[in-house]
A and B are shown apart, each in its own frame.
Chain A
Amino acid sequence: MPLGPGEQPVFGKYQSDFSAYQYQQRNAAAASQNSLTNAYNKLAGQARAANLSREREIRNIYGGIIGQNTKDSPFFKAGMADIETQAGQLVGQETQGLISSGLFGTTTAASVPTKVATQFTRPARLKLEDLLQQRKTEAQLGLAGFVERIQEPYPDLNPLLQASIARGNM
């Protein structure tokens, strides 16, 4: 076995002592290497936990964005309420127009809600739904990209390698 750094050759009657010494030295080196591995594992575990925490946080953010853009969301409900309000105003305006034109007593008046639904409510709802879907899709794409970019945080192998080399020199 080659001598390690700082070791002196041992001869004669001291051979058994030397072996004991050598054994002692090797145990010390192994203990030191275990300590490094543990430290490394500890650090790696902490980093991984932090990464997972960040991942959860980012997923939550994306989830929140996606959740905001569904038909059950307050945003959609508020948008629909606004559309209904505007539709009601349009029905009123159309009806007033029919009264002004003297045609309130015709079936044209009865078809005003249908006309508003066709010409305003439906396109507005579709536009809102399209906007929501667009935002949802963007968020989903963002989440997909994020997921794609996630990597397991491997430990830095250099200290472990050096420790292994050191143990091999004992």
Chain B
Amino acid sequence: MSAGTMTLLAASSGDLNTSDQLSMASAFQKVFIANGTKLKIADFINTKLTITALTTAPTRGSTVTQLTSGATMIVDYVPSTKDAIYGYVTSSAAFTTTAGHTLSGGGMDPTTRVPSAVTNNPHWYNHTVYIGDAATYGTMPTNAYLVCVYRGRVTLAGNPIYPNQWYMSRVANPFDYLYGAGDPMSAVAGNNADAGQCPDIVRALISFHDDYLIFGCASTLWILRGDPVSGGSLDNLSDTTGMFGANSWCFDDARSLYFWGTGGIYKINSDFSGIQNLTELTLPEIVNDEGADPSTHRITMGYDKKRHGLIVSITVVATGVNSNYFYSFKTQGFFPETYPEECGPYSIFYYDANDPDYADLLIGSRDGYIRKFLNTAKDDDIGATDEAISSYVTYPITSLGPRDRKGNLNLDFEGKLTELVLELAGGAASGGFQDTDQVTYSLYKGDDAETVLEDIIDGATVFTSGTLSATGRKNKIRPRMRGAFMGLKLSDSTASKTWAVNKVMFDIQKAGRIR
């Protein structure tokens, strides 16, 4: 297998507003796009017959046959202008534009039309009800920012006029929005609330196969199990936790759902046994610190199968300024990251190619590029040029005080850091493992742990620092740093330089009583 080539769907160019919210979902070999008033379909299955406008269009699902050529198609969609028929060709014979090769079938009238053009897929057209016939096929919302597919129903929401409303098409017919037709397949619209209560604003539609659909609302979560017209149920998942936006969620391979909610990053197990706030203890102020606003920020999340964790990206839509977290399933820890503004993630998607070489987590970036993480890259790609990666690790603040025989720390005494040894990753120079290029160590001290941490964050004057290069165990550093607590920061911001540390070793000697 070789790498594929991306192709522009020409008709779509300029027909979307990418500076506005946009979501899309795939079904029936089509892509449904919700971009405000721009409700579009990219059709990858049908053949288009361009004709002079019909008086009566063929019914959907009927067969249209062409005289002489013998070509047949199952009608899927006819626009309100009735000057085109989109259908799935079922014959080996192809439709032609030859004079006299008239079309008939499906109750179409007149039966004297000959296609002026036969166009193979893909196609790009407006998402409307069939032949624009509101009496027979209902009415779609004119404005929607959210779309998903659930149980064969194309589901729309995020209508600014009715933000609490969701709209589902007829089962297996994305062109029928005649709500309440009465049969189990009929289109349905609704909201999420107890009887008589004011419904919450829908911010995200999360369908999991045909099993359930989660409505992520501004301050609540709801789950629809089964079909809303045929025996389904809609239940509240949380009255206190809402969801940030359309893309601020992802599933892992255990079917657990992760999302950015009103109090941080949450996890819902696949059995819905509870909602767990993953950042409650480790990053309790993450929501306030990030200050993400749905009107200015986009939060996207993706499960990285290759690296066994999640990427959570908070991006300012207008500028690309971003703040991100990698949540490692191995360590259960959050690793903050910042990418160049050009790389500000607008969308994250795991492309699961059959060939593992082409499968990876893809980042749709602000500058229009689709990127992926390269373990071998030593710089960030910002388009024409590269940008140095700035990285740092702060080791846990460590007491320098002596310990008694029981191992208890004596906080009345200071200690002296006499030796510090770092083992840099990469094994032997060159070889199969990636080598550390260089890393800078910075030592801080203080009478209490919080002061030391604050000094590190604020970039206060270090006690001592230095740069180590190459791999393996480095020479002893003799800082002779006296204090109650020490802080060690390892960092590097040099172009084309990366690093990793396997081990940090140090020796402490008892010093005098803290004054």
The interface-forming segment of A30-38, A48-56, A109-117 is: A109-117
Once the chains bind, are B229 and A102 in contact (CB under 8 Å)?
no
Once the chains bind, are B190 and A111 in contact (CB under 8 Å)?
no
Task: State which of A101, A105, A108, A110 has its C-beta within 8 Å of the C-beta of B192.
Answer: A105
Q: Verify if A158 is at the interface (C-beta below 8 Å from B).
A: no
- Interface size bracket, B side: 20 to 34
Q: What residues of A have a CB within 8 angstroms of the CB of B199 in the complex? A: 105
Q: What residue of chain B has the Cβ atom nearest to residue A98's Cβ?
A: B195
Once the chains bind, are A103 and B181 in contact (CB under 8 Å)?
no
Once the chains bind, are A115 and B182 in contact (CB under 8 Å)?
yes
* Those of B446-504 within 8 Å (CB) of chain A: none
Q: What residue of chain A has the Cβ atom nearest to residue B187's Cβ?
A: A107
Q: Mark B232-245, 1 if CB is under 8 A from A, else 0.
A: 11111000000000
Q: Verify if A151 is at the interface (C-beta below 8 Å from B).
A: no
Q: What residues of A have a CB within 8 angstroms of the CB of B181 in the complex? A: 111
* Those of A80-124 within 8 Å (CB) of chain B: 99, 101-108, 110-111, 114-115, 118
Q: What residues of A have a CB within 8 angstroms of the CB of B179 in the complex? A: 107, 110
Once the chains bind, are A114 and B182 in contact (CB under 8 Å)?
yes
Q: What residue of chain A has the Cβ atom nearest to residue B192's Cβ?
A: A105
Q: What residue of chain A has the Cβ atom nearest to residue B193's Cβ?
A: A105
Give the CA-CA distance A105 to B192 in the complex, in Å: 7
* Those of A113-137 within 8 Å (CB) of chain B: 114-115, 118
Once the chains bind, are A106 and B195 in contact (CB under 8 Å)?
no
Task: State which of B182, B186, B235 has its C-beta within 8 Å of the C-beta of A102.
Answer: B235
Task: State which of A101, A105, A111 has its C-beta within 8 Å of the C-beta of B182.
Answer: A111
Give the CA-CA distance A118 to B180 in the complex, in Å: 13
What distance in Å separates the Cβ of A93 from its nearest Cβ neighbour in chain B? 15
Q: What residues of A have a CB within 8 angstroms of the CB of B228 in the complex? A: 103, 106, 108
Q: Mark B190-217, 1 if CB is under 8 A from A, else 0.
A: 1111110001000000000000000000
Once the chains bind, are B190 and A105 in contact (CB under 8 Å)?
yes
Give the CA-CA distance A158 to B320 in the complex, in Å: 125
Q: What residue of chain B has the Cβ atom nearest to residue A102's Cβ?
A: B234
- Interface size bracket, A side: 10 to 19
Give the CA-CA distance A167 to B65 in the complex, in Å: 99
What distance in Å separates the Cβ of A109 from its nearest Cβ neighbour in chain B? 8
Task: State which of B186, B195, B229, B235 has its C-beta within 8 Å of the C-beta of A105.
Answer: B195
Once the chains bind, are A101 and B232 in contact (CB under 8 Å)?
yes
Q: Verify if B188 is at the interface (C-beta below 8 Å from A).
A: yes
What distance in Å separates the Cβ of A94 from its nearest Cβ neighbour in chain B? 12
Which of B181, B195, B236: most chain A CB closer than 10 A? Answer: B195
Give the CA-CA distance A105 to B235 in the complex, in Å: 12
Once the chains bind, are A108 and B180 in contact (CB under 8 Å)?
yes
Once the chains bind, are B180 and A103 in contact (CB under 8 Å)?
no
Q: What residues of A have a CB within 8 angstroms of the CB of B195 in the complex? A: 99, 104-105
Once the chains bind, are A103 and B182 in contact (CB under 8 Å)?
no
What distance in Å separates the Cβ of B111 from its nearest Cβ neighbour in chain A? 35
What distance in Å separates the Cβ of A122 from its nearest Cβ neighbour in chain B? 12
What distance in Å separates the Cβ of A147 from its nearest Cβ neighbour in chain B? 48
Q: What residue of chain B has the Cβ atom nearest to residue A110's Cβ?
A: B180
What distance in Å separates the Cβ of A87 from its nearest Cβ neighbour in chain B? 15
Q: Verify if B189 is at the interface (C-beta below 8 Å from A).
A: yes
Q: What residues of B have a CB within 8 angstroms of the CB of A114 in the complex? A: 180, 182
Give the CA-CA distance A79 to B250 in the complex, in Å: 58
Once the chains bind, are B190 and A101 in contact (CB under 8 Å)?
no
Task: State which of B189, B193, B194 has its C-beta within 8 Å of the C-beta of A107.
Answer: B189
Q: What residues of A have a CB within 8 angstroms of the CB of B186 in the complex? A: 111
Give the CA-CA distance A114 to B236 in the complex, in Å: 28
Q: Mark A46-67, 1 if CB is under 8 A from B, else 0.
A: 0000000000000000000000
Which of A105, A115, A118: most chain B CB closer than 10 A? Answer: A105
Give the CA-CA distance A107 to B180 in the complex, in Å: 5
Q: What residue of chain B has the Cβ atom nearest to residue A119's Cβ?
A: B182
Q: What residue of chain A has the Cβ atom nearest to residue B189's Cβ?
A: A107
Give the CA-CA distance A108 to B185 in the complex, in Å: 11
Once the chains bind, are A101 and B233 in contact (CB under 8 Å)?
yes
From known contacts A102-B234, A102-B235, infer whether A108 and B191 are also in contact, taking CB-CB under 8 Å: no
Task: State which of A99, A106, A115, A118 has its C-beta within 8 Å of the C-beta of B190.
Answer: A106
Give the CA-CA distance A104 to B182 in the complex, in Å: 15
Once the chains bind, are B188 and A107 in contact (CB under 8 Å)?
yes
Which of A103, A104, A118: most chain B CB closer than 10 A? Answer: A103
What distance in Å separates the Cβ of B394 from its nearest Cβ neighbour in chain A? 48
Q: What residues of B have a CB within 8 angstroms of the CB of A105 in the complex? A: 190-193, 195, 199, 234
Q: What residues of A have a CB within 8 angstroms of the CB of B188 in the complex? A: 106-108
Give the CA-CA distance A106 to B190 in the complex, in Å: 4
From known contacts A101-B233, A101-B234, infer whether A106 and B189 are also in contact, taking CB-CB under 8 Å: yes
Q: What residues of B have a CB within 8 angstroms of the CB of A110 in the complex? A: 179-180
Give the CA-CA distance A105 to B222 in the complex, in Å: 13
Residues of A within 8 A of B (CB): 99, 101-108, 110-111, 114-115, 118
User: Can you add 9 more A-B contacts, CB < 8 Å, to A99-B195, A105-B193, A106-B228?
Assistant: A102-B235, A105-B190, A105-B192, A105-B199, A106-B188, A106-B191, A110-B180, A114-B180, A115-B182
A-B CB contact pairs (8 Å), 19 listed: A99-B194, A101-B232, A102-B194, A102-B222, A102-B234, A103-B232, A103-B233, A103-B234, A105-B190, A105-B192, A105-B234, A107-B179, A107-B188, A107-B189, A108-B188, A110-B180, A111-B182, A114-B182, A115-B182
Residues of B within 8 A of A (CB): 179-182, 186-195, 199, 222, 228-229, 232-236
Which 4 A-B residue pairings sit nearest by Cβ, starting from the closest?
A106-B190, A102-B234, A111-B180, A107-B179
